[in-house]
């Protein structure tokens, strides 16, 4: 009888612990990602974009650089897709003022590409002032080839 009480005293806390652990993991479907934001110290919109990523749950590490072109060339981002900043998230780059919907799609689907890009600095995109005047066309890049990733 004493062994049964000892056994129950061990099983109940362990079972409850496992239940609460499973609930907290399954209840939090959001994986925490670190975003490394490379930008020129003279660019103000890049810092605003970093704040945007933070507000969307990313841990953001800022990397000021006087030679942002070097980062883009190292990552082999096609020149026609360049914007004012580059973000590294996991194995991907995110070039420009890309809305969170595209980043979530990238991280959820994990396509076999190097990264995504929204060229230029379109009005109304995250970190950019003004009204959105046109659909954002986000491109996927794989081995120097570009194709449409999504439109927002």
**What pLDDT does residue 111 have?**
97
**What pLDDT does residue 30 have?**
56
Q: Is 120 exposed, middle or buried (0-12, 13-18, 19+ CB in 10 A)?
A: middle
Whether residue 26 has pLDDT greater than 70? no
Higher-confidence residue of 22 and 56: namely 56
pTM: 0.77
Whether residue 25 has pLDDT greater than 90? no
**Beta strand pairing status for 92-95 and 115-117?**
parallel
Distance CA 41, CA 47 (A): 9
Domain 33-151 class in CATH: alpha beta
Q: Where are the domains of the chain?
A: 33-151
């Amino acid at each position: 009888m004493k062994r049964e009480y000892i056994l129950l005293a061990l099983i109940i806390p362990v079972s409850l612990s496992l239940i609460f652990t499973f609930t907290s993991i399954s209840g939090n479907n959001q994986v925490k990602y670190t975003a490394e934001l490379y930008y020129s110290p003279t660019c103000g919109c890049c810092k605003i974009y970093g704040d945007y990523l933070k507000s969307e749950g990313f841990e953001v590490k800022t990397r000021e650089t006087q030679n942002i072109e070097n980062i883009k060339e190292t990552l082999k981002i096609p020149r026609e897709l360049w914007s004012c900043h580059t973000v590294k998230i996991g194995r991907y780059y995110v070039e420009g003022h890309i809305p969170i919907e595209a980043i979530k799609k990238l991280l959820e689907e994990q396509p076999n590409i190097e990264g995504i890009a929204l060229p230029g600095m379109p009005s109304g995109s995250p970190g950019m002032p003004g009204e959105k005047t046109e659909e954002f066309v986000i491109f996927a890049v794989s081995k120097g080839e570009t194709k449409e990733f999504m439109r927002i």
